[in-house]
Every structure is written in C-alpha cells, then in structure tokens.
Amino acid sequence: MNRVAKLPRSTAVRASPITIEQLTESVGDEWMEWYRMTPAERWRASGQLWEVYVAMGGSLDPEPDTQSPFFDSREASAGAAHGRPGVRVVRRGRI
C-alpha cells in the first residue's frame, strides 16, 4: 500500500512593496543610477568599464580552475601581478 506523506501547509507571506527611498537607503545612490538604466545603457556602461579595466593593465584571461580534472599544475603559470609581461633585471658590469 502506497502512502503519501502529507506536507505541512506553508504559510503564505506577503511582502510589502519596497519604496524608492527604502531601496536608495539600502543600496546607495551609485547603485540606484545603475538600476535606473535600461539594459542597453547597462551594456554600454559595462563595455566602458571593461575598456578602463584593460587600459589599467587588467587581464581578460580566465583564472586556472584548480578543481577541474583537466587542470595540470605543470602547465599553469602565474602571470605578473599587474597583468603585464614580466620584467627581468639585467646587471651590467662597471664601465
């Protein structure tokens, strides 16, 4: 005989709508500017942020996934902390 477990009735909780003032207090003015943008405006703004990030030396290369079964620690090499090619100091003899 199959018995079906009876689940307790959930009590429905109604959330009251949040006002713009409450949202502004919780997230701040800068985020409110972002929330007020259309998706197309956010897309353009994100593109500008990425351009600035790369111009400042940021890298778009993905971080190695050490949890992946295909990760090979012998192949992974840490890049420079500032995202630019490494620098090698050359010592020259006295002239």
Q: Give pLDDT tens digits for 5-19.
A: 666 666 666 778 888
Classify the C-alpha dihedral 51-52-54-55 as positive or negative: positive
How far is it, in rounded angstroms, from Cα 20 to Cα 28?
Answer: 11
How far is it, in rounded angstroms, from Cα 81 to Cα 60?
Answer: 13
Q: Is the pLDDT of residue 58 over 80?
A: yes
Identity at 58, one-letter amino acid code: G
pTM > 0.85: no
Hey, where are the domains in the chain?
20-55
